[in-house]
Amino acid sequence: MVRALRPIVTGRRILAAELNLKRTAPELSRAAFGRQLRNLRITGVGRRGKYILFELESGRLLATHLRMTGKFLSLTADDALPPYAHVVFYLDDERRLVFCDMRQFGRMRLIRDASRLPKELTALAPEPLSDEFTEEYFLETLSRSRRSLKQLLLDQTRVLGLGNIYAVEALFLARINPTKPANRLSKSRARKLYQAIRQILREAIDAGSTLRIDLADGNGSYFETPERFWRVYEREGEPCVNCGTRIRRIVHGGRSTYYCPRCQRN
Ligand SMILES: [Zn+2]
């Protein structure tokens, strides 16, 4: 997503910013949203965990979390506004960057000083593909938790960047039962899981994430990937790619969890 946004917005000036749905940016009134973003140049786009960070002139950041259905579209002046266009940025190249969000869980937050990040960002675990996310860090984190591995992997303050799909996939790849308590996993299996997490994230990035994203193509819509590259996610009842056993679905911690009852027996 960030890679798709960068070439479209970097260097552009925001001529006007319209907040059409108050809850998308709950800390600001619509008037304040427009006033505080107007005339600022976007100097870059960064990311921390699942937060997209628009870097703005004067050291400000606009942090965006897409949650379930949030997405950005890049529209020309002639394109009609799509449904659920909750935020519209009018850019100085006559394009509009539009934030659409059918389910309305997505959030934006203006951070006035990029050198003083709010706790929701500073509390995040190290980036999983960075050098900081070491095997030692991961093993130590697991040994301190009695929660299930599935729940621990989704806690962004412990392991960053995995959502439900990638947590399920990493556990399958490492052949570990999702409900196993984190501190009961042997070191050798924990190392396998560490490798699996990094492999799954690299594969996902190469495949264009869970959605194929090309903001600059046509009207800048998203396209669902034509083929699912997931090994177990949403494959309930289908044969396991390793052993042929039917994939099972359970609800664990309120989320659908898919696993092979044979490969991931314990
Ligand atoms: Zn299997």
Task: Residue 140: name the closest of 182, 88, 90 by CA.
Answer: 182
Give the per-residue pLDDT at 125: 97
The answer to whether 56 touches 62, Cβ cutoff 8 Å, is yes
Give the per-residue pLDDT at 216: 52
| CA 246–ligand 1 middle distance (angstroms) | 8
Residue count (the chain): 266
| CA 165–ligand 1 middle distance (angstroms) | 17
Find the mean pLDDT for residues 14-23.
97
| CA 265–ligand 1 middle distance (angstroms) | 9
Residue-wise pLDDT for 167-200, tens only, equals 999 999 999 999 999 999 999 999 999 999 999 9
Give the per-residue pLDDT at 47: 94
| CA 176–ligand 1 middle distance (angstroms) | 11
Find the mean pLDDT for residues 77-93.
93
Residue 209 pLDDT level (bands cut at 50, 70, 90): low
| CA 245–ligand 1 middle distance (angstroms) | 5
Give the per-residue pLDDT at 221: 40
Task: Kindly calculate the radius of gyration of the chain based on its CA atoms and give it in whole angstroms.
Answer: 20
